[in-house]
Structure 1
Amino acid sequence: MSAAEVRPATPSDAVEIARIQRLTWRAAYTDLLGADALADLDAADLEGTWAETIGYPDSAVYLATEGSFTVGYCVAGPAPHDEAATAAGTLPEDAGATGLIASLVVEPRWGRRGHAGRLLATAAEGLRAEGLTRGITWVAQSDHATLGFYRRAGWTPEGTVRTLDTGRGTLREVRLTGTLELELTR
């Protein structure tokens, strides 16, 4: 295996991140969102969105690479209050110390090589450097592979769910939580 590493993204990485998002969403979400909706993912729009996300001051975007290939990405930052709130809408006592893994994606052909673990560990390290101690993320209830990944990292469902309208139906997501003191291979 070529050298694998994680590094902060730069605006010039927006093209590769958009490519990975389009490819991965088509592989994972066609049944849920429909081929037409995914075909409409405009490359220029996605690239612009990713360039803005990379430059956003309250989040960090990390890239996983293997050799000269960009293979995945992760977006992390302090959890907005609406993401950290309980199902009843109240904030937990540690809301100010909670980070959000907003997205963690590895291109399917590069899966099972440790990239997701390195991305999560790097994001957790960055969140801890900001004084945060707990992380949360949302995962589709039907995405058993991603749920298993987070469980192996020590994160567990905490009882909060949300339902998103996909235009073709609904997507039920569960919120997982865990410590940012991770012991994953980087």
Structure 2
Amino acid sequence: MNADVSARLAWPDDASPMARVQIAAWRANYAELIPAAELDALDPAQLAERWAMTISTPKEARMRVLVALERADVRGFTLVHPSYDPDSDQVTDGEIGEFIIDPEHQREGHGSRLLQAAIDTLSADKFTRAVWWIGSTDDALRRFVSESGWEPDGAHRELAADDGSTVKQIRLHTSLA
């Protein structure tokens, strides 16, 4: 195991590398869903500014961004927060709202480390259940999440894109107790 890998709460200085990782992941994972012109138009500076704001002034105290690191290089990140689903209890239900690993550094343990840090953070914030919306056709992520003890809870949704297409998602959950 590499001793130079870790996961921690994100710092505002992590925002630019996070934006780079996010754009790389979106280009790799959503090329069939998002038009190429939209992917090409993503502005790393604008994304970095949003992430810096989310890190430094979150909308609420239990919204946190964590990063997976190899030495000082950001290899992935996650956003955790209370679940805002209408059927959730914001006091007891936390959510993984974003989970991105650099496509060039997948299967190196960063996802597992980051997921464990997310679970530890949600537990420390007194959530007793966690939920996670994933794409219904993202078999690799679903397999990873399921192998980590998450199960579908029967909820599903469709998100509309600007071009009129939809993305179908299923909700997975796990107990943090």
Q: Same fold (TM over 0.5)?
A: yes
Aligned residues of 2:151 and 2:174 also touching (Cα < 8 A): yes
Aligned position for 1:25 = 26
Shift of 1:157: 1.1
Distance in structure 1 (CA, Å) of the matches to 2:99 and 2:29:
13
Given residue 131 of structure 2, which amino acid in structure 1 is its aligned partner? I
Does 49-58 or 22-31 show the bigger shift? 49-58
Distance in structure 2 (CA, Å) of the matches to 1:17 and 1:177:
26
Are positions 1:163 and 2:158 aligned together? yes
Q: 1:120 aligns with which of 110, 115, 118?
A: 115
Aligned position for 2:48 = 47
For residues 33-85 of structure 1, give each alpha carbon's deviation from its aligned partner in whole angstroms, at most 9, with x where no partner exists.
111111111122101110111120331111101123210001112212xx2x3
Aligned position for 1:69 = 73
Three-state SS of the structure 1 residue aligned to 2:159 is strand
Three-state SS of the structure 1 residue aligned to 2:32 is helix
Aligned residues of 2:159 and 2:166 also touching (Cα < 8 A): yes
Three-state SS of the structure 2 residue aligned to 1:30 is coil
Given residue 60 of structure 1, which amino acid in structure 2 is its aligned partner? R
Structure holding more helix per residue: 1
Structural mapping, 1:1-186, within 5 Å: 1=2, 3-55=4-56, 56=58, 57-80=61-84, 83=85, 85=86, 91=87, 95-168=90-163, 169-180=165-176
Aligned residues of 1:73 and 1:119 also touching (Cα < 8 A): yes
Aligned residues of 2:62 and 2:125 also touching (Cα < 8 A): no
Aligned residues of 2:153 and 2:171 also touching (Cα < 8 A): yes
Shift of 1:30: 1.1
Aligned residues of 1:33 and 1:167 also touching (Cα < 8 A): no
> How many residues matched?
172
TM-score (normalised: structure 2): 0.91
Distance in structure 2 (CA, Å) of the matches to 1:64 and 1:129:
18
For residues 149-171 of structure 1, give each alpha carbon's deviation from its aligned partner in whole angstroms, at most 9, with x where no partner exists.
11011101111111011233110
Long gaps (5+) in structure 1? 86-90, 182-186
Distance in structure 2 (CA, Å) of the matches to 1:43 and 1:128:
32
Distance in structure 1 (CA, Å) of the matches to 2:13 and 2:155:
36
